[in-house]
Structure 1
Amino acid sequence: MASSASGSSRTRVGKYELGRTLGEGSFAKVKFARNLETGENVAIKILNKEKVLKHKMIGQIKREISTMKLIRHPNVIRMYEVMASKTKIYIVLEFVTGGELFDKISTRGRFKEDEARKYFQQLINTVDYCHSRGVFHRDLKPENLLLDANGVLKVSDFGLSALPQQVREDGLLHTTCGTPNYVAPEVINNKGYDGAKADLWSCGVILFVIMAGFLPFEDSNLMALYKKIFKADFTCPPWFSSSVKKLIKRILDPNPSTRITIAEVIENDWFKKGYKPPKFEQADVSLDDVEAIFDESEDSRNLVVERREEQPAMPVTMNAFELISTSMGLNLGSLFEKQMGLVKRETRFTSRCPAKEIISKIEEAAVPLGFDVKKNNYKMKLQGEKTGRKGHLSVATEIFEVAPSLYMVELRKSGGDTLEFHKFYNNLSIGLKDIVWRSDGQTIEQGNEGAGIVPS
């Protein structure tokens, strides 16, 4: 795991040793971790109990955990176990290394029809299985479609999913959620919707995107975007075959009562070509321990203790596996290309400058942009003074040593709007251009059309 030249910096929870932060938001962090008993790499989602209670999110968190326990499918991120300390909840998840499905499009371009069909078949089979367990995802979008090391699709993040008890007497769901470009018109309409039909609409948008390389419905004005969605106002590119055009038009039918069903999709000739449903065993799952993680009793045997050694006053060294797990983010060439409306919540660059100089340069560049800087050894929190579209923009920064005198600097949005994060980084990069390293040993000049720092 992570170590320094003077020893080790370790945080241990139960049998797991925690490593670098993979992502963070207002209520949770996701950290890379290793099971010390088996050597297996996992991801651990860490939630702050106090924040969960304060924001009345216990129901949502229990729902997410219950959902993840109910779903045992080869194309769904596996939840191994749940633990809790007095202050935190730990959700131990399968760790996948292939990045997001849509990263492949940003690096290689759109998928050919046969490859798109293969991923669509995996997606539909997964969603169909979830629905058979009474679970609706409700937020199917690019960030939630991951790939494992073998290129197998993995659906993640059931934080917005709906379990059967959320269906009202009219048989419909009534919570508006999801990402606008991927959301079915009846969800936006807020008059109740069938979760299965809404999920299928999102699958149709995803199929369009992976074959076209752009969104079927896009507009900078939200109301104009909604109008396009309500009318199903989209055009298939000329390279789509007539059979896939027909299928997409039947899925992206704005009227849920006439929209094709998943059962009908599975029987569609275009879909069936080369279709091999996965074989797997369905395990009986108990939800008894979900309540236990919120057990406040002092002597609860369910509680774990987070043991932490003192952090060294030097950058953490990243081992080879952790470095590989970030490799898709080391090439920043397409960072500011807003492909398919998809924007990233984190970015990285490398530098040969001393770590203290990197810290100073980031501070010098961030303060004039209206950011308050808090430093903790080789970690920084940059907090925007102005209120943006989703509150104050907050950026977490950490420096890792990846080789002698070569550092990787990671910036993650931890609060606020993703587009504002990109605008901030684009401005910040101007002040950082002379510390960013590339293989020919020269510093990076500002890229074309405000594209930010672009290593060649």
Structure 2
Amino acid sequence: MVGGGGGGGGTLRRVGKYEVGRTIGEGTFAKVKFAQNTETGESVAMKVLDRSSILKHKMAEQIKREISIMKLVRHPNVVRLHEVLASRRKIFIILEFITGGELFDKIIRHGRLSEADARRYFQQLIDGVDFCHNKGVYHRDLKPENLLLDSQGNLKISDFGLSAWPAQGSSLLRTTCGTPNYVAPEVLSHKGYNGALADTWSCGVILYVLLAGYLPFDEMDLTTLYGKIEGAEYSFPPWFSGGAKSLIRRILDPNPDTRIRIEEIRNDEWFLKNYEPIKEVENEEVNLDDVNAAFDNPEEETEHTFDDEAGPLTLNAFDLIILSQGLNLAALFDRRQTEPSNSSVGRASS
């Protein structure tokens, strides 16, 4: 995904306390630039959005929600959003700079992971997802493409574009969304579902993919695919250990009422092997003033000598579909050079 490296060539520009370097990703709706905090020296990824396009297509509330959720879930296994700045023409989202790429690409390059590596990533995934759930946030699109790796190989959950943050007192979600191969059967039923249990199912599919190198449910025809998901029709390859099979069976239970809960996953014998719990996460006060201000009351002086190379953005129907999947960094990169055509793990579309 986001490659390493510094500012590159060209004149550095400044946005607030950040010196802005080269473009490291580009899409219809945004550019992602390498930047550096001049006060701390920390490298960050700066997502630059065109304000007029967001307002014109009434996407402000969706983007505000995604930004607010990312500020709320501050955890070592979730991509960190530092702050939001704005000028009259641009909105700048300052994100943690992740250099290790997607977990998906690691599987594409190397095939299935060892049981020890798969377990370690799964442990970090469960830690991050559990924290999100405790904050009342349900991701709803968990898949290896949305799991990034930092320079130390630690997992970071990204892309909260489809996440739900239900109103107080509301426990059931009703929107059918996510990526078909990873979606829980009850999400397909249109009867309302528990966001935590739906995320847990997706975590089970991810664990299977890490250990197998391919998907448990993978059919070209959606009707056939959904039938297999609803019946939990899948088989284990011979190299799966008994402990892994037992845990996956309990997660990929098509009945959400009897499906294993995250607290039970945490007590599972296979899960606990070599488990290193993260240190207590600080319960920070999260201030959303900068998010609201970026959309409602931009300050012209935030931006210094930052040019508008792209000009106004032109949108077509396909662009709007892409944007509706969330403004994750991964969606801003052209994968055509890196995506092998004969991969056993297909990149499923939302």
Q: TM-score, normalised by structure 2?
A: 0.84
Q: Which residue of 2 aligns with 1:405?
A: none
Does structure 1 conserve the Cα–Cα contact (< 8 Å) formed by 2:88 and 2:299? Answer: no
* 2:219 equivalent in structure 1: 219
Match of 2:3 in 1: none
Aligned to 1:125, the other structure's residue is in SS state helix
CA distance in 2, matches of 1:179, 1:333: 21
- Which residue in 2 is equivalent to 1:245? 245
Change (3 A) 1:23 1:177: farther
Counterpart of 2:194, as a letter, is D
Tell me which residue corresponds to 1:281: 282
- Note the alpha carbon deviations across 1:247-277, whole angstroms, 9 max, x for none: 1111111111111111111111111112121
Mapping 1:11-26, distance limit 5 Å? 11-26=13-28
- Tell me the distance in 1 between the aligned counterparts of 2:24 and 2:221: 32
- Provide closer, same or farther for how the CA distance between residues 161 and 334 of structure 1 changes in structure 2, counting only shifts above 3 A: closer
- Larger strand percent: 1
Matched with 2:133 is 131
Q: Output the amino acid matched with 1:285.
A: V
Asked if 1:2 corresponds to 2:3, the answer is: no
After the TM superposition, which residues 11-50 of structure 1 pair with which residues of structure 2 at under 5 Å, given as runs?
A: 11-50=13-52
Aligned residues: 319
Distance in 1 (alpha carbons) for counterparts of 2:208 and 2:308: 50
What letter corresponds to residue 127 of structure 2 in structure 1? N
The code of the aligned residue for 2:8 comes to A
Q: 1:309 offset after TM fit, Å?
A: 6.4
2:62 is matched by which residue type in structure 1? Answer: Q
Is 1:338 the equivalent of 2:332? no
Q: Which moved more, 1:122-131 or 1:249-258?
A: 249-258
Q: Please, what TM-score do these two structures have when normalized by structure 1?
A: 0.65
Deviation at 1:33, TM superposition (A): 2.0
- In the alignment, the residues of structure 2 paired with residue 161 and residue 154 of structure 1 have an alpha-carbon distance, to the nearest angstrom, of 16
Asked if structure 2 preserves the Cα contact closer than 8 Å seen for 1:9 and 1:310, the reply is: no
Identity of aligned residues (%): 58
What is the match of residue 432 of structure 1? Answer: none
**Cα 1:274–1:230 shift into 2, 3 Å:** same
Q: Which amino acid aligns with 1:248?
A: I
**Superposed displacement of residue 60, structure 1:** 1.2
Greater relative CO (CA pairs within 8 A, separation 6+): 2
* Residue 305 of structure 2: aligned partner: 307
SS at match of 2:100: coil
Counterpart amino acid of residue 335 in structure 1 = P
Q: Which amino acid aligns with 1:172?
A: L
Cα pair 1:130 1:136 within 8 Å, conserved:
yes
- Residues 2-151 of structure 1: matches in 2 within 5 Å? 2-3=8-9, 8-151=10-153
Distance 2:47 2:224 in 1: 37
Distance 1:194 1:310, change over 3 A: closer
How far 1:310 sits from its partner (Å)? 10
**2:44–2:95: 8 Å Cα contact kept in structure 1?**
yes
> Residue 56 of structure 1 aligns to which amino acid in structure 2?
K
**Secondary structure at 1:294's aligned position in 2?**
helix
Give the match's secondary structure for 1:293.
helix
Q: Match for residue 316 of structure 1?
A: none
Number of the residue aligned with 1:174: 174
Query: How far has the Cα of 1:81 moved from its partner?
Result: 0.7
Note the alpha carbon deviations across 1:199-243, whole angstroms, 9 max, x for none. Answer: 111100000001000000101112211111111111111111122
1:149 is displaced (CA, Å) by 0.7
The aligned residue for residue 323 of structure 2 is none
Detail structure 1 runs of 4+ shifted over 6 Å in the superposition.
Answer: none
Structure of larger gyration radius: 1
**Corresponding residue for 2:316?**
none
Deviation at 1:306, TM superposition (A): 5.0
Counterparts in 2 of 1:192 and 1:38: CA distance versus 1, 3 Å: same
